[in-house]
Amino acid sequence: MPIKGLAVFSAPRGKERLNIRLEKETLVKAINNTGYAHLFDITPELHITLPKFKELLKDDFQLIQFSGHSNQTHIFFEKEDGTSRRIPINSFIKFIEKKLQSPDNQLKCMIFNSCFSFKLGEELSKLGICTISMEQEIKEEAARLFTEGFYEAYSPETTILEMFENAKNNMQLHNHPNWKIPELKGDGNLKFDIIEIPEFQPYQGVLLIQEHYEILKEFEGLIGNKSIPIVNKVEIDTFGFSENDGRIISLGLPSCGLTFLPFSIKNLNSLQILGLNNNEITTLPKTIGHLNSLQILWIKNNKIKILPDTIGNLKSLTELNLSANQLLNLPESIGNLQSLIKLELYHNQIKKIPKTIGSLNSLQTLNLSKNQLNEIPDEIGQLKLLTYLDLSDNLIKSLPSTIGQLNSLKNLILNSNRLVSLPISIDGLTSLIYLSLWKNKLKKLPNSIGNLKSLEYLILSDNQLKSFPISIICCKNLEIFSFKNNPIKIVPHEISSWLKKFRKKK
User: Please, what is the angle between helix 118-125 and helix 89-100, to 10°?
Assistant: 30
Q: What is the pLDDT of residue 197?
A: 61
Is the distance from CB of 428 to CB of 401 less than 8 angstroms?
Answer: no
Q: What is the pLDDT of residue 503?
A: 64
Q: How far apart are CA 334 and CA 307, in angstroms?
A: 9
CB count in 10 Å sphere of residue 211: 17
Residues in Cβ contact with 273 at an 8 Å cutoff, skipping those fewer than 6 apart: 234, 249, 250, 251, 252, 294, 295, 296
Nearest residue to 339 (alpha-carbon basis) of 314, 322, 357, 321: 314
The domain limits of the chain are 3-185, 373-506
Per-residue pLDDT tens listing for the chain (506 residues): 688 999 999 999 888 888 888 988 988 898 888 888 888 888 899 999 999 999 998 888 999 999 999 999 999 999 999 999 999 999 999 989 988 888 778 899 999 999 999 999 999 999 999 999 998 988 889 999 999 999 999 988 899 999 999 999 999 988 888 888 899 999 999 898 876 667 899 999 999 999 999 999 999 999 999 999 999 999 999 999 999 999 999 999 999 999 999 999 999 999 999 999 999 999 999 999 999 999 999 999 999 999 999 999 999 999 999 999 999 999 999 999 999 999 999 999 999 999 999 999 999 999 999 999 999 999 999 999 999 999 999 999 999 999 999 999 999 999 999 999 999 999 999 999 999 999 999 999 999 999 999 999 999 999 999 999 999 999 999 999 999 999 998 788 888 888 887 765 54
Is the distance from CB of 160 to CB of 151 less than 8 angstroms?
Answer: no
Q: What is the pLDDT of residue 504?
A: 55
Residues in Cβ contact with 31 at an 8 Å cutoff, skipping those fewer than 6 apart: 37, 40, 42, 151, 154
Is the distance from CB of 495 to CB of 478 less than 8 angstroms?
Answer: no
- Architecture category of domain 3-185 in CATH: 3-Layer(aba) Sandwich (3.40)
Is the distance from CB of 365 to CB of 388 less than 8 angstroms?
Answer: yes
**Alpha-carbon dihedral of residues 344, 346, 352, 354, nearest 10 degrees?**
0
Nearest residue to 258 (alpha-carbon basis) of 226, 306, 233: 226
Residue 240, beta-bridge partner list:
252
In whole angstroms, how far apart are CA 455 and each of 321, 387, 503?
Answer: 29, 14, 18
CATH superfamily of the domain spanning 373-506: Ribonuclease Inhibitor (3.80.10.10)
Q: What is the pTM of this model?
A: 0.66
Q: What is the pLDDT of residue 101?
A: 86
